[in-house]
Each structure stands twice: as C-alpha cells, then as structure tokens.
Amino acid sequence: MVIAVVIPRFPLLVALLAAKIPRDRPVALGPQPGDPQVVGLCTGAAQKHGVIPGIRVGEALSRCPELELVSPDLEGVAKASEKLLERLEAMGAAVEAVEVGVACFESRGLERLHGGLDRLLRRLPSALPVGAGGRIGVAPSRFPALQAGREATTRAPLVLQKREVGHFLSPLPVGRLASALGRDGDSDAESTPDDPLDAKTVAMLESLGIRTLGQVAMLPRQAVLDRLGLAGVRAWRLARGEDDRRLRPRTPPDPIESSVSFPEPVGALPALQSAAKMLIYQITAIANARGRAIRRVGFRAQLADNASWSRSLTLREPSTDPERIASAALPNLETIAAPVLELTVRADASTVASGRQISINDTDPGERRRRTGEALRHVQAAYGDEALLRAIEVEPHTRLPERRWVLAPFDI
C-alpha cells in the first residue's frame, strides 16, 4: 500500500504563522517582487468573498476589501517542509516529496516495524505539524493515495482497497488529472514531468462534456491515444486506477550554506553576481573537504523592503566546479527586483563525489545500470516522459499493426 500525507495550503499556513495572523480571517498570499501581480493561495474566509488563486490583486481587493495580503515565507516553507520529511523518515519511511506539504511512501516494511497498518496509521499523525490539518490517504498505488489524502478528513485516514479504487475515483473532477497531485488546474501550481495533462487539455475535455474521472475511464483507449496522445493514455490509466508508476524516494539532503550581509542595500547586478560567485566558491570548497558533490543549489535574498526572494535549480550532473555552478546559477539573480540586504547560497551536497567519477576500467553491471538510469532520468526531466518510450502489446490478435502495439512512457 502507498500512504500519502497531504497538508492543504501549506505555504499559506507557514506565512500566516510567521505573520501571526489567524486562519479564520480573509488572507491571501501576495506576489513576490518581480512576479505577476496575482494572488496565490487564500483562506476559506477569502474564498467566501470570491477570492481565488490566480486573479489580479486589484480584482481580489475589489471582491473583498478586508482582504489581507501576506508575503510568502519561502525560507520558512522550505524549513517546515524539510522538517516534515525528516520526521516521516525518522519513522523508517522512504519518502517521495511530491511538493511542499505533500509526501508519499510505501507501507511495506513499516507495517512489520510498527506492528501492522492500523498501528502505523495511528502513530503517523504524531509526525505531522500540530494544528496544520494534515490528512492521510492510503491506496494500492500513488495517484489514488494522493486523491484519498485530499478527500480524507483530519479526524481519520481514508483507506482504499484495490476493489474500491475505481468507485472512489469515478466522481472526482477531471481537473484532478491536471497535475501529479490533482489540484484542479490551480494556477498557483507548477507543472512537472509527472503531470498527465495540462490545463488546456482539461478545459477541452470539459467543453466536450467530460467532467469526471469516471467519464474519462469509459473512453475507448484507442480514441484517447488518437486524440490526446501518450499523455492522454496515461491520464486514462490514472482515471481507471491503473497507476503503476513507482515511487521515487528522495536522498536526504546534506545542506551547505554560506551568506554575506551588505552594510548598505545593493541593487547593482554585477555586485550581486560577484558576491554570489564568492559564496559559490566557499560552498564548493566545503563540499570538496567532505568528499561530496553538489546536486542542487539555491539563492535566498533578504530585500530592503522586508520581503524575501529565492530561486533554486538542480544541476544536470553533480559537480564541485565553482565556475560551472556559477554559470548555471548566476542568471537567476537577474529576477531580483529590489535592493538586497543579505544574500545566501544554499547547496545540497548529498552525492558522493567519488561515485560520479568516470573510470578507465570496466565497471560492474550494477554500476553501469545505475549510471544509465541516472542519465535516463535526466532525459525525462529535461524533455518529459515522451522522450523515452516502450512498446506494449495491447491487441495481439488484430491484423492491424497500428492497433497491435502502443508506445507508452518508459518507467525507470
């Protein structure tokens, strides 16, 4: 079984806690400096006045004059999310981080460790933030578990057996296929390579009268393939409860951080780039001393107007070359829209440097498979699931070759 933990509106809860604002007031996340002037996640009180994520700030204030805008606490969200994952891993779970406030893991192994699934589910709420409204869903595979987590209450987990998955998914809106978690096409959500359908395709299905997952599941597979391609076939399988995508547990990060404070606010891009490059040299020196390689690097800036800014990127290959890391990361600084008081560079050095070196000698088959799998994952991350395909026999007795085989995403 797959267990999904879902904490709704996680970034908003962190921002409300930092600003010491009660959750029962009309509040929404405001835009970051340089971002489009639209509101983000909002409380239930704001939604009652017609405020929804993605509308312009002016329109939101006209609908709800009492609306309060809070700045996103990106640093607080990152720390709270990491703390949640660490507490789940402390229970023995191999966790896949779906997004901030959302994670899933397999119960196999944990059931023996904790004395069964029921005892595991009784202990699991103790690992969730108190008062955050965490919800727990359990199902045989990833997508149904995430949907069960979204539909569960804070009082009890929602557990689905294999025979119940199709009936449970059937009435859910087709917008649940718009992302890996199923956020009904929330404009505040970023797409990922795991997203089966984009928002435009979902809108097209709704215009054709297809509004639930059950209606998607009843469509002929060949018609879905002809009209929507491979992404449509994957969405069709998800709607039928046939999600065979394996979980991808994360490697716990090994953080390295370096920062610099400026005596006066700095707004000149060359000065910021020079400071960032110095910090990158410092963190690569620390990583080298530990025998580690940097896989992910992020910037955080404390701005002069009391706001914060952050950006992060994942390197194509782990590295300790400061010049290479700087050339990939420094362009992110161009999006800073206000003078900076403090600049921080944080890196994840969870990869062993020696394990990434190319050897002139023959490596064992296991090492070759690991390197090949890593290369294929980079291809999928860069170009999507359609970059790697496998042939599946669907109608072996047909005389039409185009109906006998179908191409499907290759699961690494």
Model pTM score: 0.67
Same domain, 335 and 281: yes
Instruction: Tell me whether strands 308-319 and 292-303 are parallel, antiparallel or unpaired.
Output: antiparallel
CA distance 378 to 131: 38
Determine, yes or no, domain membership for 318: yes
Same domain, 233 and 260: no
Amino acid letter at 20?
K
346 and 273 fall within a common domain: yes
Closest CA to 128 of 5, 17, 8, 9: 5
Residue 4 contacts by C-beta under 8 Å, 6 or more apart in sequence? Answer: 98, 102, 103, 104, 136, 137, 138, 139, 142, 145, 146, 148, 149
Pairwise CA distance, residues 58 & 28, whole Å: 13
Domain identity same for 274 and 349? yes
Residues 270 and 316 in one domain: yes
Instruction: Note whether residue 157 is domain-resident.
Output: no
Q: Give the number of other CB atoms < 10 A from CB of residue 109.
A: 12
Q: Are residues 195 and 277 in the same domain?
A: no
What is the domain-level CATH number for residue 302?
3.30.1490.100
Say if CB 221 and CB 238 are below 8 A apart.
no
The token pair at 196 is 């089966």
Query: Residues 333, 276: one domain?
Result: yes
Count of structural domains within the chain: 3
Same domain, 319 and 274: yes
The three-class DSSP label of residue 155 is coil
Q: Which of 239, 273, 298 is the last residue of a domain?
A: 239
pLDDT tens digits in sequence order for the chain, 412 residues long: 899 999 988 888 888 888 888 888 899 888 876 678 888 888 888 888 888 888 898 888 889 888 888 888 777 888 888 889 888 888 888 889 888 889 999 988 888 888 888 888 888 888 888 778 889 999 998 899 999 999 988 888 899 898 898 889 999 988 888 764 444 434 334 444 455 677 788 888 888 888 888 888 898 888 888 887 877 888 888 888 887 778 888 877 778 889 999 988 888 888 999 999 999 999 999 988 888 888 888 888 888 877 778 888 888 778 888 898 888 888 888 888 788 999 999 888 877 765 445 555 555 666 677 777 777 777 776 677 777 888 877 777 777 776 777 777 776 6
The two tokens of residue 275 are 């400071």
Whether 7 contacts 134, CB under 8 Å: yes
Helices 199-207 & 221-239, crossing angle to 10 degrees? Answer: 120
DSSP 56: B
Q: Tell me which H or E stretch contains 165.
A: helix 165-169
Q: For residue 181, give its domain range.
A: 170-239
Q: For residue 100, is it within any domain? A: no
Residues 281, 348 within the same domain: yes
Residue 318, C-beta contacts closer than 8 angstroms, at least 6 positions apart: 293, 294, 295, 351, 353, 356
| Whole-number Å distance between alpha carbons of 56 and 37 | 6
CA 258 to chain centre: 25
On whether both 191 and 277 belong to a single domain, the answer is no
Domain assignment present for residue 223? The answer is yes
